[in-house]
Amino acid sequence: MQGNKPVVVLVDAYTSGKYLLPEFTALGAETVHVQSTPDFMPSMPAPDLSGYRATIVHEHLDRTVEQLAAYAPVAVLAGQEPGVELADLLSEPLGVPSNRTTLSAARRDKYRMIETLRAAGLHCADQFVGDDAAQLRDWAEQVAGYPVVVKPLKSAAGDGVYVCADSAAVLAAARAVLGSDTIYGETNREALAQSYLRGEEYVIDMVSYSGRRYVCGVWQYHKRLLRNGRNIYDWEHLLGPDEGPVPELIAYVDRALAALGIDYGPTHAEAILTPEGPALVEVGSRIAGNMHPRFHDRCTGGNQATLTALAHLEPERFLAEYAGRRYTKREEAVCCTTSTGLSGVVTGVDEQVVAELTGLETVFGLNVKIEPGGRIRPTVDLYSSTMRIFLSGPSADAIRRDRRCIEELKDRVYQIRPDECE
């Protein structure tokens, strides 16, 4: 089956993973999609498979490896979080650049992730994992103190994450996590409790090849803690490559990736700058969820999707031109994640309001996340947010002005049939 073009395998190219396909295609590659589950995951929009040379639904490792070997792929990458471990399992026997399977579990399981960093001498949260809510409460009471963070071991996007102020909140959060399913359809047999990291939270995005890295961007999160303990995303803004804590954060994440055995591919790390120094919240071995290639090109001079494709198809060029370097801040940039208190069925999208939003001076683009027929519900995590809006411009004041307009308009985008009217 081998043709003249190199073939790249993408595993579970959901959400922002969709941006990898056109970038590999633009550099002359063909792509094969591997789906890790029998059916598409209902929590995310199904990937558009029309641009792939072939699609494979994974059932048995040896069979999937045999099917992929016929294409002689040059790379295997996770398109989204649930594909990380399968991409590792496939890349080794196919003989392509690989992060290997030795630490694969630590790249998804947050308890193992943090313990791996601790063993490497990096500053981390204290933590405890258990399958009984009372165990987590006892640890909080006797060891950690409050507040305590309770969350699933293998989810993302703020799913099931609670900031707990007392023992009753820990019990309630642990019971909510245990036995529930993550956004990826995995059942939480255990829950993780961690000491609360005090400080500002940052995003550090990189692309690696052969252990050498390019820093694509560092952003500061601005979140809002709800009364129920959920800490939701509001917006994040781009920092300059030498601004404030950025060099310290980059150095810490570089050590964290090395400890986790991440030598290849894109990574999306979240870290909190505590009084004792940076501490990892988590890192995903895939591109960032806020990825918008042209937006990032505009404000940072590059983007993870393009650079991931370049690294795997033209590694000599990536190593010569990008490895060991970092982005530039070309202009002020913000990514807004809009929240809502609305609940009901979406019956339509008011295009006039959407046009009003896109017409704001600094709005580069927006994603309307809920289609007619879908449900809108009060925001508790990224997956229940309503829109993602990208803003950029020469002045932070102009962006702040447009953010105020967004707050006024956001709940008018969706026409809904409220739950109480059903």
pLDDT at 276 over 60: yes
Q: Which domain holds residue 374?
A: 200-420
Model confidence at 158, in pLDDT bands (50, 70, 90)? Answer: confident
Given 195, 219, 235, which residue is the final one in a domain? 195
Question: Which of 195, 215, 245 is the last residue before a domain boundary?
Answer: 195
Cα 185 from Cα 41, distance rounded (Å): 7
Binned at pLDDT 50, 70 and 90, residue 420 comes out as low
Q: What is the pLDDT of residues 98-137, one digit of tens each?
A: 999 999 999 999 999 999 999 999 999 999 999 999 999 9
Please list the alpha-helical segments (H only) found in 275-338. 293-300, 304-313, 315-321
Per-residue pLDDT band for 421 (boundaries 50, 70, 90) equals very low
Which CATH number fits the domain that encloses residue 80?
3.40.50.20
Task: Tell me, yes or no, whether 117 lies in a domain.
Answer: no
Write down the pLDDT at residue 3.
66
Tell me the mean pLDDT in the region 218-235: 90
Answer yes or no: do 283 and 214 share one domain: yes
Res 285 pLDDT > 80: yes
Tell me, yes or no, whether 115 lies in a domain: no
Same domain, 238 and 324: yes
* 215 in Cβ contact with 205 (< 8 Å): yes
Q: Would you say residue 53 has pLDDT above 60?
A: yes
pTM: 0.94
Residues 24, 161, single domain; the answer is no
Residue 246 scores a pLDDT above 70: yes
CA distances 277 to 125, 280, 283, Å, are 11, 10, 17
Tell whether 83 is covered by a domain. yes
Residues 167 and 236 in one domain: no
Q: How many of the other CB atoms lie within 10 Å of CB of 109?
A: 19
Q: Cis bond leading into 278, ω under 30°? A: no
Q: Would you say residue 77 has pLDDT above 90?
A: yes
Residue 355 included in any domain: yes
Q: Is residue 116 domain-resident?
A: no
Q: How confident is the model at residue 240 (pLDDT cuts 50, 70, 90)?
A: very high
Residues 374 and 243 in one domain: yes
Q: Out of 168, 195, 222, pick the residue that ends a domain.
A: 195
Query: For 193-209, what is each residue's pLDDT tens digit?
Result: 999 999 999 999 999 99
